[in-house]
Amino acid sequence: MSYKSSIGKAVANILANQGFKLWVLIFLFSLIALRLITIFYYPKTDIISIAWSLTIALFCVGYLWIAELRDRHRLERINRELTITKDILKESELDAIMALILSQEAKDHYSYGHTSRVTKYSVELAKELRLPEHIVDTIERAAKLHDIGKIGIKDSILFYEGRLSEKDYEVIKTHPVKSVNILEPLKFLQEEKGMILHHHERYDGKGYPQGLKKDQIPLGARIIAIADSFDAMSSDRVYRKQLSKQAVIKELQDNSGTQFDPHLAKVFLSIINRFYD
Ligand SMILES: [Fe+2]
């Protein structure tokens, strides 16, 4: 590094120093005070001419103004970097959770790919409803995490090949609450938790865990409920083969207004062809 650039860097460091800014401010006030004292008490003495005083004061104000702009710019940049870092951290946490969900799905041939399909159907429906982008993103995250609570249910119940007993079905029904409990430490998922908790509610109030009805159920939960049921009907299950497209359409129509939000079911039916090859 050359001698000149070292001096330039040293001067730039001093000018950027917050302490230096304070000294400039003190100097400016002192200059004004000195001028006022000389005007009132020693009017005939001219220690510093008005022209010099004004020039120095203008330089000080100019420097302070530029320093303020530069500091604001630097703060905005730091804020942007912090937001990006926060988003990366959130994504990493979600990726870790997704790895858990996928490892759970991999245990069972029938549920393999369920989460990614439900997410795809939910996002398509949300977009078709022209929901704002940030709400579509929230629904996407909720759909990805909607069944994470199943991790807390015994494999012997979860992968039972046959009709579940009433007692075991009650255990399965605990998974939305378990999902929310697992996600509890992730404070940035508040909206998603509501959607996840209620994705098994029914429009007529006969669902679980709280028996909410109609608009009491979060919109995202009503969307995921349709996507979830559609995937259950259109893929093979332990106890039955996948339903035909016509049978799925009939099920969605028949349960519109009872199990499903009728408006959402109608919109979903209008885009259902997208999900068949
Ligand atoms: Fe579920």
Query: What distance in angstroms lies between residue 117's CA and the mean position of ligand 1's atoms?
Result: 13
The pLDDT assigned to 34 comes to 85
Backbone phi and psi for residue 201, each to the nearest 5 degrees, phi listed first: -75, 155
Query: What distance in angstroms lies between residue 138's CA and the mean position of ligand 1's atoms?
Result: 17
Locate 173 and state its tokens. Answer: 């029904």
Q: Which residues of the chain have pLDDT under 70?
A: 1-4, 11-16, 238-239
Residues with CB under 5 A from ligand 1 (ion): 147
Query: What distance in angstroms lies between residue 5's CA and the mean position of ligand 1's atoms?
Result: 65
Superfamily, domain 107-275: Hypothetical protein af1432 (1.10.3210.10)
Query: What distance in angstroms lies between residue 235's CA and the mean position of ligand 1's atoms?
Result: 15
Non-local CB neighbours of 113 within 8 Å, separated by 6+ positions: 105
The pLDDT assigned to 276 comes to 87
Query: What distance in angstroms lies between residue 224's CA and the mean position of ligand 1's atoms?
Result: 9
Non-local CB neighbours of 238 within 8 Å, separated by 6+ positions: 110, 159, 160, 161, 162
Peptide bond connecting 209 to the previous residue in cis, omega within 30 degrees of 0: yes
CA-CA distance, 79 to 165, in Å (whole number)?
55
CA-CA distance, 194 to 83, in Å (whole number)?
24
Q: What is the pTM of this model?
A: 0.76
pLDDT tens profile 184-205: 999 899 999 999 999 999 999 9
Calculate the alpha carbon distances from 203 to 173, 197, 266 in Å: 17, 15, 14
Kindly tell me the sign of the dihedral angle through the C-alpha atoms of 128, 132, 137, 139.
negative
The pLDDT assigned to 160 comes to 83
* Domain residue ranges in the chain: 3-81, 107-275
